[in-house]
């Protein structure tokens, strides 16, 4: 009989097992709770610092991995203690535990990203709204208008409902900017941005589509209904309280078209409303015009004229002619004026029709610069002691595409010196932004270019030009010159121009000299240079005629006596 080993008390064994089990459970649960608590803290920190998420992303994933690993070890150990030495079952339990903990950790980690995504979505929607809103008026902008126009037209065609479009343009808005300043202009635009929506239904959509141009989409509205609505808004705009005290009332011109009454597509609807707006402005402004085929014909004429001018410029259907500017003392040619002529196959018979079409079609600036290019390109044979004079309209100088560098680039292309170029500004067209014009002329003058006031006496804006801009040459209109031989009043006006030139150091040129009898009184006044058919007709530069005339001899005493009899000051 063998001896059995002594057995430990059953109660003691159970105590040890329970102690180890409780210890393992406590350790494992503690590790899991610490890991989960850490993830919660990380998630909360991430949520409060969403802007810094990218920089701590790898750390959060590492922490989650460590937590899952700790959960695996703890679950495996706990399973061994509770189930016994069955490693396969322990591994399965550990895997389930680690996956569970990893899922919880992942959910806590993703929560801040969901908050960031929601924030980014809100920011994106705000950015889209800003991109479709005009910041000054708060109305929809040009892009929003065209997107909504396509949607509204598609809906109207699908459900066979009417849709009206009104395009309106503020009258004389540039004058408000020039006279009262751009801040006043912005106040007017904001006032219009408040005025238009106040007169519309909730379903109507107002937009600011350009500088001073607005558009209104009126669903379920026929042309007459749209006209009534816009009449009501115009009447409100004409009330002085609508604007500011410094700008007074506001007026606008408006063109209306509608679908399906006139148009069948979005582009056609817009073109018809724009043609009606053109008709309203041409008819005197402050009016509302509903589309008709007559408006379309007028707009088509303007469009075709603009296209014809563009073809003339693109294909170089321009020719240059030169008229001499002559000294009335000795008959020398001191310079020439470059004139432009449309060449076949251009559909214009004369320069006047060409420039009228360019102005109506918005091509005046491009035509002016093309004419200067043509004249300078043909002036290579001009003697070095003579200047070249070219015409430029004030609207071109005010246009965005004009600059002194544009003129200098033309001169550089043809090797013509800037100090031999004279730019003539006519007084027959009004200058709206005198500060801009003066600044651009000063930039040209610093490069050596000189300026002449053309057609003095032909209009009512010359005095402003003479007062605001220091001209190097004063060219007197031919009407004054041609009547000076028989009417002392016109001689008196010429005398005042000469006095102004004497004080400013400008050269005076009398235009339109067609008879020899006109020359002696001009010379007596102190006008020493002239231009006209009597002195030389326009023609090619190589054949520009040199006048063969002599000015009648006048003694200084005779000139002084004559000027004194006219009540004019004596010219030294």
SS3 state of residue 336: strand
Cα dihedral 377, 383, 387, 391, rounded to 10, equals -30
Please say whether the dihedral angle defined by the alpha carbons of residues 372, 373, 379 and 384, taken in this order, is positive or negative: positive
Q: Which of 22, 42, 47 is nearest to 104 (CA)?
A: 42
For 150, the token pair is 């396509």
Q: Which of 69, 58, 60 is nearest to 41 (CA)?
A: 60
CB 39 within 8 A of CB 64: yes
The structure tokens 């115009």 sit at 234
* Tally of CB atoms within 10 A around 371: 24
SS3 445: helix
For 377, phi and psi rounded to 5 degrees? -65, -25
Q: Is 330 a catalytic residue?
A: no
What gap in Å lies between CA 2 and CA 141, rounded to an integer? 106
- The DSSP call for residue 513 is -
Are 279 and 255 a contacting pair, CB within 8 Å?
Answer: yes
- The owner of tokens 């202009």 is 185
- CA 561, CA 195: separation in Å to the nearest integer? 67
Token pair belonging to 446: 């610093």
Q: Are 60 and 38 in contact (CB under 8 A)?
A: no
Q: Cα–Cα distances in Å, from 485 out to 108, 490, 521, 522, 564?
A: 101, 9, 7, 9, 18
Length of the chain: 572
Coil, strand or helix: which one is 561? helix
- Count Cβ atoms below 10 Å from residue 314 Cβ, excluding itself: 10
C-alpha to C-alpha distance for 177 and 87, rounded to whole angstroms: 89
Catalytic annotation, pick one of 204, 212, 274, 287: 212
- The whole-angstrom distance between residue 564's C-alpha and the CA centroid of its chain comes to 55
- For strands 163-170 and 252-259, give the pairing: antiparallel
For 6, list phi and psi in degrees, rounded to 5.
-65, 140
Long-range contacts of residues 524-527, Cβ cutoff 8 Å, at least 24 apart: 524/554, 524/558, 524/559, 524/562, 524/563, 525/491, 525/494, 525/495, 525/498, 525/563, 525/568, 526/498, 526/502, 526/559, 526/563, 526/571, 527/328, 527/476, 527/494, 527/498
In what side-by-side order are the strands of the sheet with 205-208?
A: 205-208, 213-219, 163-170, 252-259, 288-290
Radius of gyration of the chain (CA): 43
List, by residue number, the catalytic residues: 212
């Amino acid at each position: 009989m063998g001896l059995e080993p002594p057995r430990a008390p059953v109660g003691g064994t159970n105590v040890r097992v329970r102690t180890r089990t409780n210890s393992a459970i406590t350790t494992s649960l503690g590790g899991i709770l610490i890991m989960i608590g850490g993830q919660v803290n990380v998630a909360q920190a991430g949520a409060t610092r969403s802007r810094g998420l990218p920089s701590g992303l790898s750390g959060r994933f590492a922490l989650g991995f460590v937590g899952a690993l700790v959960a695996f070890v703890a679950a495996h150990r706990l399973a061994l203690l509770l189930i016994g030495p069955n490693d396969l079952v322990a591994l399965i339990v550990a895997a389930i535990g680690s996956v569970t903990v990893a899922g919880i950790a992942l959910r806590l980690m993703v929560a801040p990203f969901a908050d960031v995504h929601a924030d980014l979505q809100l920011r994106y929607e705000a950015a889209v709204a800003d991109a479709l809103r005009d910041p000054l008026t708060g109305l929809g902008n040009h892009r929003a208008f065209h997107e909504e126009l396509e949607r509204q037209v598609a809906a109207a065609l699908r459900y066979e409902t009417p849709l009206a479009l009104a395009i309106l343009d503020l009258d004389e808005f540039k004058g408000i900017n020039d006279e009262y300043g751009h801040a006043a202009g912005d106040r007017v635009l904001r006032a219009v941005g408040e005025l238009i929506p106040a007169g519309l239904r909730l379903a109507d959509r107002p937009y600011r589509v350009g500088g001073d141009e607005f558009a209104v989409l009126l669903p379920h509205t026929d042309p007459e209904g749209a006209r009534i609505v816009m009449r009501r808004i115009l009447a409100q705009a004409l009330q002085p309280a609508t604007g500011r005290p410094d700008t007074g009332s506001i007026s606008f011109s408006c063109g209306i078209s509608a679908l399906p009454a006139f148009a069948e597509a979005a582009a056609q609807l817009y073109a018809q409303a724009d043609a009606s707006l053109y008709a309203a402005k041409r008819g005197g402004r402050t009016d509302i015009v509903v589309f008709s085929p007559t408006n379309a014909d007028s707009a088509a004429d303007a469009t075709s004229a603009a296209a014809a001018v563009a073809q003339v410029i693109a294909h170089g259907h321009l020719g240059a002619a030169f008229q001499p500017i002559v000294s009335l003392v000795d008959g020398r040619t001191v310079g020439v004026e470059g004139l432009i002529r449309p060449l076949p196959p251009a559909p214009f018979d004369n320069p006047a029709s060409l420039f009228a079409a360019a102005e109506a079609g918005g091509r005046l600036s491009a035509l002016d610069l093309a004419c200067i290019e043509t004249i300078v390109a043909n002036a290579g044979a001009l003697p070095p002691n003579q200047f070249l004079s070219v015409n430029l309209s004030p609207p071109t100088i005010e246009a965005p595409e004009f600059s002194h560098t544009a003129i200098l680039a033309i001169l550089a292309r043809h090797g013509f010196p800037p100090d031999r170029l004279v730019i003539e500004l006519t007084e027959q067209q009004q200058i709206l932004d005198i500060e801009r014009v003066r600044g651009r002329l000063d930039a040209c003058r610093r490069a050596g270019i000189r300026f002449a006031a053309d057609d003095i006496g032909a209009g009512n804006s010359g005095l402003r030009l003479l007062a605001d801009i220091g001209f190097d040459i004063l060219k007197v209109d031919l009407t004054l010159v041609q009547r000076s031989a028989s009417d002392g009043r016109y001689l008196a006006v010429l005398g005042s121009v000469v006095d102004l030139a004497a004080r400013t150091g400008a050269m005076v040129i009398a235009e339109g000299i067609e008879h020899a009898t006109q020359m002696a009184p001009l010379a007596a006044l102190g006008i020493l240079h002239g231009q006209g058919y009597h002195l030389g007709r326009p023609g090619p530069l190589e054949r520009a005629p040199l006048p063969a005339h002599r000015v009648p001899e006048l003694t200084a005493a005779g000139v002084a006596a004559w000027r004194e009899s006219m009540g004019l000051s004596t010219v030294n």
